[in-house]
Structure 1
Amino acid sequence: MSDPEKIIDIPGDAYRVFEVLKGGGVAIIPASVGYGLVAIEPEALQRVFAAKQRKPHKKHAMIGSYFLHRQIHVLPPREEGMVKLLTVDMDLPMGVVAPFREDHHIIQKLGKEMLDKSSVGGTLAMLVNGGQFQEELSRLATEAGLPLMGSSANLSGKGTKTVVEDIEQEVRDAADIIIDYGRQKFSYPRPSSTMFDFKHMRLLRFGACYNVIQDAFQRFYGITLPDDPGQEALFSGHLGQEANVY
């Protein structure tokens, strides 16, 4: 982005990324909660796993939107209202974990092996409202009926990166295209998305905008969530080993 003539072109850049992903490629893309490493094709998703040096129990998440969430996730009215409040009304990024429609045509495109690597106990994680670039890329994938999957662009356990320069070289080398939009919006006190399991109504990971999300749960639903102990006390943000799967 040092070229003074270069501008951010979200529709154009998202289209270029989508063409690479459709061809079996891997991309590093910006999101408001940090940079992600994404793919569509199963072999490319395996490359994502290998580049991140992920352990077998770790799962892919779907890179989506509120529109896609409504199509794929299945929640009771109260829990669905919570997702809308947080991601639409309050415009917050959120990792939504919820039961899903296994018969949905996009889920069917994953295939059994990749679905097993992307779901836990009948739930699927989806990053909702991750910023304008993600929204546009998700729109392209959704219209094409293709599953956009991925994870944060970093070595496993090393923390989400909010600038491309901080992404480990071996992860950058795995990408066929990198979209560098500079430092991303939510980096303090934590990057990455706050993740909540709406099936079991439990917090899985402290992440971006957590203090706002915590207040919203208490203020609008009378649900008390734990305080974030901070990165020094809990670097990953995951609440327990069973939550450390995404």
Structure 2
Amino acid sequence: MGAPDIKGDAQRVFEVIKAGGIAITPSSMGYALASSTTEALEKMFTTKRRGTHKRHAMGGNYALHKELHIMQPEHAEIVRCLTQDFDLPLAVIANYDSAHPMFKHIDQSTLEALTVDGTVAMLINGGAFQDELVNLTMKAKIPLLGSSANISGTGTKYVAQDINSEILDIADIVIDYGLVKFGYHGRSSTMIDFSGPKPEIVRIGVCYDVIKDHLKRFWNIEIPSDPGQSALPSGHLKTLPPLKSLEKLVAVH
């Protein structure tokens, strides 16, 4: 017994992902499904019974965010302050550098399911394990892609034993670190779109009350109040239109 070997566990997950496999990994907000290949992502998508309006997200850290995202200076400073000074988890949507080597081996169908109007969503500050895993994938120029480890509509899973059996069955490796840091929030990450003239809330999630306070206090930016989980269980304030390639994928399954 003793502390988990984060570096060793991240290396084991990296080897699985590099080989095209599927991993279930912990973040500070919940357990996630992760891979890097189109075949694995499609398997994850259909097993989750995910809606065709949903997109893949990219697991990241602050260093990868700085390499990939293209932002106006004030928005970049907001992300730095929230994630680095105040240590808050945040899913950042922003324009991205399409010429970055990370995107070199992503095929067109996967790219369509990952990006929206020239933007990509990346989770930053997901915890020590995610940071370590992303360090490895960055060096290898392999994207860490996926979504929450759950059947769609059943909610984020905060302990591994709550993960749906269908999801566990497709995983080649499961890293179980017990109850995640922000499990008591009952929501996923707060997601903010920085691609426009001012930040736009896409999803209300973890630490939203703190983020709302800080945006107003330090930048005089007003964002919507949280109506509560009973009124808005998913936290989403914005929904994307269905993607044709995903509709075709769902149709054949």
TM over 0.5: yes
User: 2: CA distance between counterparts of 1:241 and 1:115?
Assistant: 19
Corresponding residue of 2:176: 180
1:158 maps to 2:154: yes
User: 2: CA distance between counterparts of 1:207 and 1:215?
Assistant: 14
In 2 relative to 1, CA 243–207 (structure 1 residues): closer, same or farther, beyond 3 Å?
farther
1:231 maps to 2:234: no
1:24-103 paired onto structure 2 within 5 Å: 24-103=20-99
User: 1: CA distance between counterparts of 2:15 and 2:200?
Assistant: 37
- Candidates 211, 214, 217, aligned match of 1:219: 217
Which consecutive unaligned segments of at least 5 residues does structure 1 have? none
User: 2: CA distance between counterparts of 1:232 and 1:33?
Assistant: 19
User: 2: CA distance between counterparts of 1:16 and 1:74?
Assistant: 31
Cα RMSD (Å) of the superposition? 1.5
CA contact (8 A) 1:93 1:128 kept: yes
Describe the superposition over 1:162-191 as per-residue Cα deviations: whole angstroms up to 9, x where unpaired: 111111111111111000000000023333
Corresponding residue of 2:138: 142
TM-score in terms of structure 2 length: 0.92
Residue 157 of structure 1 deviates from its aligned partner by 2.1
User: 1: CA distance between counterparts of 2:38 and 2:239?
Assistant: 26
Which consecutive unaligned segments of at least 5 residues does structure 2 have? 244-253
**Identity percentage of aligned residues:** 49
CA contact (8 A) 2:65 2:122 kept: yes
User: 1: CA distance between counterparts of 2:111 and 2:40?
Assistant: 14
Structure 2 letter corresponding to 1:178 = V
User: 2: CA distance between counterparts of 1:6 and 1:22?
Assistant: 28
Residue 244 of structure 1 deviates from its aligned partner by 10
| Matched length | 241
- Candidates 96, 108, 113, aligned match of 2:104: 108
